[in-house]
Amino acid sequence: MKMAVRILIVLCALSWMEACTFHIPAEDISQLQAGKTFTRQGGFTIGPGDEIDIVVYGEEKLSGRFTVSPAGILTFPLIAPINVVGMTVAQLTKRLESALDSMVKNPRVTASLLGVRSFSVYFAGEISRIGMVPLTSETTFLQAMTLAGGPTAFATGRIVLIRQVGNNKVRRFSLRYEDILTGEKYIDNITLESGDVIYVE
C-alpha cells in the first residue's frame, strides 16, 4: 500500500512539473539568418562603448585611446565626428586616413580594438550563469553555452534564441542542446549577435 502511495505521489509531482513547464513559441533555428555583429568574413563590427586605440604615425598628438559614444559616434581631433557603428577596424582606418589627408601629409593610421563593450548576450532560464555575458570575438552557440556554465540539471534541453531583427521586431528561434553537441542542423556556423537573449528551458 505504501508503495502505491509513493508511486501516486511521484506521478502527481511529475504531472505538476510538466504543467508548470514554460514553453516559448518559436521558429526552428533553420529559419535564422545572419545578423550584423560580424561581417561575412568574420570581422567584428564596431559598436557603442567600444574602446579603440588609434595611432597616426608621426603625429603623437593625434594618437591615443578613444571611446565610441552611446550613440555610436567617434570624436577624433581635426575632423568631424564619425558614426562608426557597423564599421570594421579596417574600414575605420581607411576613413581616418581619408579624412586626415588634407591636414596631414601622407597620413598612415593604425586602429585596433582595446575593449569590446558593445557585444554582450544574455542568458536566462535553466542555465548555470544567468545574466549578461560580454563577448570579445565571434562566438558560436556551444562556445557561449560553455561560457555560461551549461544547462542546469533541470533543463529540458530546449533552447530559445530571442533576437531583435528590426527596430521594433523580435523573432524567436528554437533548437535542442543535443543538436549543438552533435553538430546537427548546421548550427556550428551560426554565431551569436550583440543583444541576443538565450533562454534555456
pLDDT at 183 over 80: no
CATH code of the domain in which 83 resides: 3.30.1950.10
Which residue range(s) make up the domain with 107? 51-115
98 and 127 co-located in one domain: no
Give the single-character DSSP code of 35.
-
194 and 123 co-located in one domain: yes
For 72-123, the pLDDT digits (tens) are 999 999 899 999 988 989 999 999 999 999 888 889 999 988 877 778 889 9
Q: Specify the pTM.
A: 0.62
Amino acid 68: pLDDT: 93
75 located within any domain: yes
Q: What is the mean pLDDT of residues 173-183?
A: 82
pLDDT at 160 over 80: yes
CATH code of the domain in which 150 resides: 3.10.560.10
160 and 192 co-located in one domain: yes
Domain count, the chain: 2
73 and 30 co-located in one domain: no
Amino acid 35: pLDDT: 63
pLDDT at 139 over 60: yes
Q: Determine the residue type at 27.
A: E
